[in-house]
């Protein structure tokens, strides 16, 4: 059965490396002797071990905190000596708002404590979702290193009044001279801001607005305009799809903002059917990892496979080439034709002709999944227009340039050309939340507030509007960009009044402003509908696409990482330490390379005896541009292709610890994510990766993951001893095979009284996105430890997402029965490694009812609560680490150092602003104690106390943890199994439910649901 497959994490493990085997047996791979631990700078001689009052940690001594903690966002500021009516000390306030930073767009709820935003969660009433980046955005609010604090001219402080006077005078001079002024912004997706900008452009007719996105999706927007007459991105109703075929579109990642919620909504095995998802790609992406069928091809073959699919669907013969995928493409065409209007094709190739072919296929299918009426208003950038601006600047045509929250001096492929061209511009103004290379190159730098300090609105898709409201008073001398443009347009109206009036007249249709502000969103019927489409010559489109596709020996696919995206939050330590879902590496970008290519070119990733992974360097040359980058061998990478993520290598204004990785934007010629004719050369040097993929390995892998096909799920009894897909563990008792759960060393406690918490994790719904990991960081004050500590296995994540590959050659024993041994055996396993199946599994403390950690603690620091939580008394823990060595799940963390108030760990806990994000309900741990998931005991107790105060029972499904709240797809469900109406109670009894390593009889309170794949057999 599928659950007996060979599961593995790394190539070294696949080889059967003795180093990896040793690591699997050791919880702590690099122990520190006491005398060394108290030694020199490398082991933190001066780190403090004193346990101080929590209020000392949260840094209320700063002036900024005093200002910020004074009030709620809607009423005017008052001194905190008089308690505001809407603030209750010790009780969290939640505000609905919206994030739109030019790359990430989300309807969110913000948790504040005493006026400080400390956490972001999805606004599920607004159908909101959050990613790791959105979750981490709350920490960027407190980035005292990077944020602009006051207006400056030439690097010296200037008052807002003087800045307005001088800039206004120069704008008028340029208008009278008829010289061009360029307003260069990112995508704002804000209707009121669009109107403000329109009034500014009307005041200065010589000005024009150009939108620039660092990561371009201009081809999709242009193709949509060509086909349907409106420049926007198509939307996709994946919840209704039967067959989904993607050609390099990472739609569970950053493609069009992501569609993970809709995708998972159409994949519920309990309904008896699931969408069938095929991914054709070069890099192993998050979407490819979740696909039912993943087809690997180099980028040029992906392009021609798309053309061949068009031919197979329409029976036309447009220009194309044969590919190794063509037999499978014919099968995919049959699946799509069978699904008809319930089928959909999408492509992430940033080429207008490729996007037109994708739209034409959907048109041929009469696809109802492609939603052209409810189009998306994000990613509106026009790369070609930006290049025209650079040319105009160089030629002296541009007299003034105003940039808003963008950094083309870092992100443009020709960034140097842009920066040098600024010297020919008379007026240079940057309006920005953060300092960056572009801001530094400007004459005027005007600070804008963070979105958590701002008013505003959004319109991400037709008819769906969001409101942005401040959740904290401004920390610095900032002013909203809308107020600035209103002032420069000669208006005395404040943006808040402007926004309220705009919504009352243009959007609310008589509805309440206060209600919309409370909810954070307002929906109305989409006014813009598409009546038809333009008739195109697809033959010409295909011919252009074929001509622009240059088949070469090595091709490059540029992409964005789930953690860092376009690099806007590169100074955010939560995101830098966030392990990539696929490679499990943090603090780096790298060249992903296939196993055969690595062998041929001489690259390797040796694993050291402390669990650290090293890599060789490669010089990558594309279009005459060279970068030197470390190589990571990636199972599932197409032979003849390499991948490299954008968003790294940023240095200006960042803390030294954050200046990691290589800037790949210089390779991003034309905004195209595919680059041909790539030269790879191995160069001298060894790179040290911070990668967790071979750390914290759980023994007995066959009992960790359970995977079934949809056909098996529908037709095979799950508990069948011989053929079941969810077989329980069996042990020998009295010379008979019996279920392990029937044998117990201990008498059972009565757990039916009061609450008993369980957490259910559906492996079918978990995409591995990692939003839960960052949410756990924020809620529980988990420290960031830095690259060197992660490298040797000392990361402090309370929640990790294990990524497993699986091979069709199920076990080494079975392979030997097939007559495979030695090199043949390795070759068979390695062949599977070229395109393995991937499964994600969130792993945290399992809160075992028979916990191995509790029995070995000599000081009773860890114990079991009546409500099912495994508890830690930090002030009892003496750091013996016996509990970690006795934990079969490898989920306990030992904090080797004092991470707060420590210059050796210069992250958010080491500065007064960064400490403002700390949750006062959770203690900041001192050095020398064990940490782990607490099942957010502070949240469960707060829920109980709230119900008690209100004189009622806890409501159904009222209990939540940080991870379950953050989970966009609903894969994590938390609740009380003693309340039979709670959703988790039914999930605990579901036929897919199982416990990891159930034969150990630890009896966890974390329940997993068997992963079901649709192999298109059902």
> What's the Cα-to-Cα distance from 653 to each of 114, 548, 710, rounded to whole Å?
30, 39, 51
Q: Name the token pair of 453.
A: 């300090």
With a CB cutoff of 8 Å and minimum separation 6, the contacts of 357 are 306, 307, 310, 347, 538, 541, 542, 545
pLDDT digits (tens, 9 = 90+) for 826-844: 555 555 568 888 999 999 9
Q: Tell whether the model's pLDDT for residue 59 goes beyond 80.
A: no
What whole-number distance in Å separates Cα of residue 60 and Cα of residue 67? Answer: 10
Which range, 87-101, 533-547, 630-644, is most confident? 630-644
Number of C-beta neighbours around residue 810 at 10 A: 17
For the stretch 101-121, pLDDT in tens is 889 999 999 999 888 899 999
CA distance 185 to 194: 11
Are 375 and 230 in contact by the 8 Å Cβ rule? The answer is yes
Q: How many CA atoms lie within 13 A of 932 on its CB side?
A: 26
Are 739 and 729 in contact by the 8 Å Cβ rule? The answer is yes
From 417-426, 715-724, 742-751, 979-988, the region with the lowest mean pLDDT: 742-751
**Tokens for 3?**
């659950």
Region 296-305: mean pLDDT is 94
Examine the pLDDT at 33 and tell me if it is beyond 50: no
- Report percent pLDDT > 90 for the chain: 66
Q: In terms of Cα–Cα distance, which of 387, 401, 461, 390 is closest to 429?
A: 401
20 pLDDT more than 80: no
> Virtual CA dihedral for 461, 465, 471, 474, nearest 10 degrees?
80
Better-scored residue on pLDDT, 819 or 325? 325
Residue 930, strand partner residues:
894
Q: What's the rounded Cα separation, in Å, for the pair 728 and 720?
A: 9
Average pLDDT, integer, range 438-461: 94
Q: What is the mean pLDDT of the chain?
A: 86
How distant, in Å, are the alpha carbons of 96, 263, 620, 988 from that of 967? 18, 14, 38, 19
Residue 316 has what pLDDT?
86
The pLDDT tens digits of the residues spanning 380-435 come to 999 999 999 999 999 999 999 999 999 999 999 999 999 999 999 999 999 999 99
Q: Which backbone phi and psi does 152 adopt, to 5 degrees?
A: -135, 155
Q: What does the pLDDT average to over 71-93?
A: 56
Contact at 8 Å (CB) between 92 and 113?
yes
Q: Sorting pLDDT into bands at 50, 70 and 90, what band is 46?
A: very low
Of the ranges 499-508, 668-677, 907-916, which one carries the lowest mean pLDDT score? 907-916
| Mean pLDDT score, 269-284 | 93
Contact 477, 446 (CB under 8 A): no
Compute the distance between CA of residue 273 and CA of residue 260 in angstroms, rounded to an integer.
18
Provide the pairing of β-strand 1006-1009 with 993-994. Answer: antiparallel
Q: What percent of the chain has pLDDT over 70?
A: 86
In the structure, what pLDDT confidence band is assigned to residue 960 with cuts at 50, 70 and 90? very high
- What's the rounded Cα separation, in Å, for the pair 589 and 595? 18
In angstroms, the CA 141 to CA 124 distance is 23
pLDDT band at 44 (very low <50, low <70, confident <90, very high): very low
Residue 1016 CA to residue 855 CA, distance in Å, equals 47
Q: Is the per-residue pLDDT at 1000 higher than 90?
A: no
pLDDT of residue 97: 93
pLDDT for 60 equals 37
Looking at residue 748, its pLDDT comes to 77
To which residue do tokens 């966890």 refer? 1004
d(CA 645, CA 152): 34
Query: Is 167's pLDDT higher than 70?
Result: yes
Both tokens of residue 158? 């200037």
Helix residue ranges per DSSP H, 318-380: 326-339, 352-365
Burial class (CB in 10 A: 0-12, 13-18, 19+), 705: buried
Contact 606, 631 (CB under 8 A): no
915 or 821, greater pLDDT: 915
Q: CA 215, CA 383: separation in Å to the nearest integer?
A: 9
* pLDDT for res 67: 44
Whether the pLDDT of residue 256 is over 60: the answer is yes
Query: What pLDDT does residue 727 have?
Result: 87
Whether 817 has a pLDDT exceeding 70, the answer reads no
Query: DSSP string spanning 541-559?
Result: HHHHHHHH----SSEEEEE
The predicted pLDDT at position 358 comes to: 95
Over 50: is that where the pLDDT of 42 sits?
no
- The pLDDT, as a whole number, for residue 724 is 87
CA distance 905 to 47: 10
The pLDDT of residue 62 is above 50? no
Output the pTM of the full model.
Answer: 0.89
Confidence band (pLDDT; 50, 70, 90) for 902? Answer: confident
Query: What digits encode the pLDDT tens for the residues 332-382?
Result: 999 999 999 999 999 999 999 999 999 999 999 999 999 998 899 999 999
When pLDDT is cut at 50, 70 and 90, the band that residue 75 belongs to is very low
Task: Name the pairing type of β-strands 180-185 and 207-211.
Answer: parallel
Give the pLDDT score at 819.
61
Q: CA triplet 191, 195, 200: central angle to 5 degrees?
A: 145
Start-to-end CA distance of the chain, whole Å, equals: 16
Q: What is the mean pLDDT of residues 604-614?
A: 79
Average pLDDT score over residue span 603-632 = 88
Q: Burial code of 642-667, b = ≥16 C-beta within 10 A, e = fewer?
A: bbbbbbbbbebbbbebbebbbbbbbb
Contacts of 86 by beta carbon, 8 Å cutoff, 6+ apart? 72, 75, 93
Residue 145 to residue 910: CA distance in whole angstroms: 12
Long-range contacts of 312-316 (CB under 8 A, 24+ apart): 313/337, 313/361, 313/364, 313/365, 314/360, 314/361, 314/364, 316/538, 316/539
What per-residue confidence (pLDDT) applies to 34?
A: 42
Spatial neighbors of 808 by CB under 8 A, at least 6 apart, are 5, 832
The 3-state secondary structure of 559-618 reads EEECCCECCCCCCCHHHHHCCCCCCCEECCCCEEECHHHHHHHCCCCCECCCCCEEEEEE
CA-CA distance, 261 to 258, in Å (whole number)? 8
SS3 798: coil
pLDDT over 60 (residue 100): yes
| CB distance 266 to 238 below 8 Å | yes
What percent helix, strand, coil does the chain show, rounded to 5? 35, 20, 45
Joined tokens for residue 244: 């989904």
Please state, in angstroms and rounded to a whole number, the distance separating the CA atoms of residues 1006 and 144. 39
pLDDT digits (tens, 9 = 90+) for 512-536: 898 899 889 999 876 656 655 666 7
How far from 501 is each of 73, 357, 496, 505, CA to CA, in Å? 19, 43, 9, 6
69 touches 60 (CB < 8 A): yes
Per-residue pLDDT band at 49 (split at 50, 70, 90): very low
* In the block, residue with structure tokens 């070469």: 552
Flag the least confident range among 80-84, 243-247, 834-838: 80-84
Rg (C-alpha) for the chain, rounded Å, is 28
| Cα 763 from Cα 713, distance rounded (Å) | 14
């Amino acid at each position: 059965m599928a659950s007996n497959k060979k599961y593995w994490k790394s190539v070294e493990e696949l080889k059967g490396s003795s180093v990896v085997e040793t690591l699997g047996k050791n919880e702590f791979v690099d122990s520190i002797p006491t005398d060394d631990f108290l030694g020199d700078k490398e082991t933190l001689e001066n780190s403090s071990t004193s346990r101080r009052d929590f209020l000392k940690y949260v840094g209320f001594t700063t002036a900024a905190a005093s200002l910020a903690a004074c009030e709620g966002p809607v009423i005017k500021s008052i001194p905190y000596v008089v308690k505001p009516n809407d603030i209750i000390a010790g009780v969290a306030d939640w505000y609905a708002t919206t994030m739109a930073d030019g790359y990430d767009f989300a309807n969110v709820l913000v948790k504040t404590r005493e006026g400080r935003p400390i956490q972001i969660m999805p606004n599920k009433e607004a159908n909101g979702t959050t990613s790791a980046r959105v979750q981490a955005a709350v920490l960027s609010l407190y980035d005292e290193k990077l944020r602009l604090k006051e207006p400056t001219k030439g690097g010296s402080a200037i008052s807002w009044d003087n800045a307005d006077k001088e800039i206004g005078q120069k704008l008028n001079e340029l208008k009278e001279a008829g010289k061009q002024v360029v307003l260069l912004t990112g995508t704002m997706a804000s209707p009121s801001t669009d109107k403000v900008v329109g009034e500014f452009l009307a005041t200065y007719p010589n000005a024009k607005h150009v939108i620039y996105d660092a990561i371009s999706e201009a081809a999709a927007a242009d193709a949509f305009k060509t086909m349907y007459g409106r420049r926007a991105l198509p939307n996709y109703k994946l919840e209704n799809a039967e067959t989904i075929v993607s050609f390099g579109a990472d739609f569970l990642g950053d493609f069009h903002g992501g569609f993970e919620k809709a995708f998972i909504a159409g994949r519920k095995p309990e309904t008896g059917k699931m969408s069938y998802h095929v991914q054709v790609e070069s890099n192993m992406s998050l979407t490819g990892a979740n696909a039912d069928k993943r087809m690997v091809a180099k980028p040029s073959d992906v392009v021609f496979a798309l053309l061949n699919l068009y031919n197979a669907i329409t029976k036309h013969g447009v220009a194309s080439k044969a590919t190794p995928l063509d037999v499978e493409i014919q099968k995919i065409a049959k699946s799509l034709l069978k699904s008809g209007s319930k089928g959909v094709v999408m492509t992430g190739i940033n080429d207008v002709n490729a996007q037109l072919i994708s739209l034409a296929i959907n048109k041929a299918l009469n696809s109802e999944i492609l939603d052209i009426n409810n189009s998306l208003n994000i990613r509106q950038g026009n790369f070609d227009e930006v290049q025209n601006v650079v040319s105009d600047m160089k030629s002296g045509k541009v007299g003034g340039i105003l940039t808003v929250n963008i950094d083309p001096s870092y992100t443009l492929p020709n960034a140097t050309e842009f920066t040098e061209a600024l010297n020919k511009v008379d007026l240079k103004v940057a309006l920005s939340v953060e300092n960056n290379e572009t801001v530094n190159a400007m004459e005027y730098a005007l600070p804008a507030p963070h979105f958590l300090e701002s008013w505003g609105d959004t319109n991400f898709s037709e008819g769906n509007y969001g409101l942005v409201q401040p959740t904290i008073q401004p920390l610095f001398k900032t002013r909203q960009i809308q107020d600035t443009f209103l002032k420069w347009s000669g208006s005395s109206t404040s943006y808040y009044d402007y926004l309220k009036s705009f919504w009352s007249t243009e959007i609310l249709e008589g509805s309440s402003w206060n209600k919309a502000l409370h909810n954070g969103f307002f929906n109305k019927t989409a006014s813009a509908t598409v009546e038809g489409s333009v008739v195109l010559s697809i033959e010409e489109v295909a011919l252009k696409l074929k001509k622009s596709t240059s088949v070469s020996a090595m091709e490059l696919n540029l992409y964005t990482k789930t953690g860092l995206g376009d690099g806007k939050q590169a100074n955010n330590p939560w995101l830098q330490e966030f392990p990539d879902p696929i490679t499990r590496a943090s603090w780096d970008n790298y060249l992903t390379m296939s196993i055969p290519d690595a062998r041929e070119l001489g690259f390797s990733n040796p694993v050291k005896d402390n669990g650290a992974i090293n890599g060789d360097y490669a010089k990558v040359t594309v279009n005459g541009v060279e970068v030197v980058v470390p190589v990571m061998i990636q199972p599932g990478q197409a032979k003849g292709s390499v991948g490299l993520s954008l968003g790294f290598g940023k240095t200006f204004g960042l803390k030294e610890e954050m200046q990691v990785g290589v800037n790949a934007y210089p390779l991003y010629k034309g905004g195209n994510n595919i680059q041909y004719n790539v030269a790879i050369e191995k160069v001298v040097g060894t790179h040290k990766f911070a990668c967790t993929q071979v750390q914290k390995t759980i023994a007995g892998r066959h009992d960790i993951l359970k995977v079934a096909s949809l056909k098996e799920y529908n037709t095979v009894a799950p508990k069948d001893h011989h053929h079941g897909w969810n077989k329980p563990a069996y042990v020998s008792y009295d010379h008979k095979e019996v279920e392990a759960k029937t044998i117990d060393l201990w008498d059972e406690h009565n757990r039916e009284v009061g609450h008993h918490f369980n957490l259910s994790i559906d492996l079918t719904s978990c995409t591995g996105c990692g939003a839960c990991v960052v949410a756990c960081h924020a809620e529980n004050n988990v420290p960031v430890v830095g690259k060197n500590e992660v490298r040797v296995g000392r990361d402090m994540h309370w929640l990790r997402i294990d990524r497993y590959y699986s091979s069709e050659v199920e076990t080494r024993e079975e392979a030997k029965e097939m007559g495979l041994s030695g090199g043949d055996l390795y070759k068979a396993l390695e062949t599977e490694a070229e395109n393995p199946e991937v499964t994600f599994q969130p792993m945290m403390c399992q809160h075992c009812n028979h916990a191995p950690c509790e029995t070995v603690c000599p000081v009773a620091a860890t114990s079991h609560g009546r409500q099912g939580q495994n508890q830690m008394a930090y002030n009892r823990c003496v750091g013996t680490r016996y509990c970690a060595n006795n934990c079969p799940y490898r989920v306990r963390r030992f904090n080797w150092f004092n991470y707060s108030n420590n210059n050796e760990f210069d992250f958010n806990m080491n500065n007064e602003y960064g400490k403002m994000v700390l949750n006062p309900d959770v203690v900041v741990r001192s050095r020398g104690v064990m940490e782990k998931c607490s099942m957010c005991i502070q949240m469960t107790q707060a829920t109980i106390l709230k119900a008690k105060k209100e004189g009622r029972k806890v409501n159904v499904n009222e209990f939540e943890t940080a991870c379950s709240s953050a989970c966009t797809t609903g894969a994590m469900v938390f609740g009380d199994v003693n309340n039979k109406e709670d959703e988790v109670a039914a999930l605990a009894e579901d036929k897919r439910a199982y416990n990891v390593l159930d034969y150990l009889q630890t009896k966890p309170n974390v329940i997993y649901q068997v992963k079901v794949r649709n192999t298109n057999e059902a």
